[in-house]
Amino acid sequence: MFRLYRERPTSLKQRLLVSRSRSEEFWALRDVSFDIAEGSSMGLVGHNGSGKTTLLKCIAGILRPTAGTIRYRGRLAALLELGAGFHPDLTGRENVYLNASFLGLSRRQTDRIYDDVVAFAELEDFMDNQVKFYSSGMLVRLGFAVAVHVDPEVLLIDEVLAVGDESFQRRCLDRIRRFQSEGRTIVLVTHALDVVRQVCDEAVMLDHGRVQAIGAPDDVVRTLRHRLLSDDPTFVPEEGTREVEISGVVLESDGGLRDTVHPGEGMTITVDLRADVAVPDAAVSFAVVSASSNLHVLEGKTSRLGVRLGPVDGKKRVRFRIPPAPWASGTYFVSVGLDSPDGRLFHVQTQHYPLTVPDVDNVPHALAVEPTVEVEDL
Ligand X SMILES: Nc1ncnc2c1ncn2[C@@H]1O[C@H](COP(=O)(O)OP(=O)(O)O)[C@@H](O)[C@H]1O
String of contacts with ligand X for each residue 271-310, x by CB under 6 A: ----------------------------------------
String of contacts with Mg ion for each residue 316-335, x by CB under 5 A: --------------------
Q: Cβ distance 188 to 177 under 8 Å?
A: no
Residue closer to ligand X, measured from CB, 30 or 87:
30
Q: Can you tell me whether residue 183 is helix, strand or coil?
A: coil
Name the residue whose CB lies closest to Mg ion: 53
Smallest separation, CB 182 to ligand X (Å) = 27
Smallest separation, CB 82 to ligand X (Å) = 13
Stretch that binds Mg ion, among 22-30, 53-61, 121-129, 144-152 (CB under 5 A): 53-61
Q: Of ligand X, Mg ion, none, which one sits near residue 28, judging by CB under 5 to 8 A according to partner kind?
A: ligand X
| Residue 53 within binding range of Mg ion, rule CB under 5 A | yes
Residues 6+ apart with CB under 8 A from 174: none
Using DSSP bridges, classify how beta strands 267-279 and 210-215 pair: parallel, antiparallel or unpaired: unpaired
CB atoms within 10 A of CB 308: 10
Q: Cβ distance 273 to 248 under 8 Å?
A: no
208: left (phi over 0), alpha (psi -120 to 50) or beta: left
DSSP state of 180: H
Q: Of ligand X, Mg ion, none, which one sits near residue 51, judging by CB under 5 to 8 A according to partner kind?
A: ligand X
Which has the closest alpha carbon to 58: 38, 88, 25, 30? Answer: 30
Smallest separation, CB 196 to ligand X (Å) = 14
Q: Cβ distance 32 to 176 under 8 Å?
A: no
Residue closer to Mg ion, measured from CB, 159 or 202:
159
Total site size for ligand X, rule CB under 6 A: 12
Question: What sign for the dihedral angle of Cα 61, 63, 69, 70?
Answer: negative
Query: Within 23-52, which residues bind ligand X (CB under 6 A)?
Result: 26, 28, 46, 48-52
Query: Within 47-86, which residues bind ligand X (CB under 6 A)?
Result: 48-54
Q: Of ligand X, Mg ion, none, which one sits near residue 46, judging by CB under 5 to 8 A according to partner kind?
A: ligand X
Smallest separation, CB 60 to Mg ion (Å) = 13
Q: Of ligand X, Mg ion, none, which one sits near residue 54, judging by CB under 5 to 8 A according to partner kind?
A: ligand X
- Alpha-carbon distance of 236 to 340, in angstroms, equals 19
Residue closer to Mg ion, measured from CB, 192 or 288:
192
Q: Can you tell me whether residue 19 is helix, strand or coil?
A: coil
Ramachandran angles phi, psi of 144, nearest 5°: -65, -40
Q: Kindly state the helix (H) or strand (E) to which residue 271 belongs, with its residue range.
A: strand 267-279
Residue closer to ligand X, measured from CB, 5 or 102:
5
Smallest separation, CB 181 to ligand X (Å) = 28
Residues 6+ apart with CB under 8 A from 86: 95, 99, 131, 139, 142, 143
Smallest separation, CB 5 to Mg ion (Å) = 21
Contact footprint for Mg ion (CB under 5 A): 52-53
Q: Which residues bind ligand X (CB under 6 A)?
A: 2, 4, 26, 28, 46, 48-54
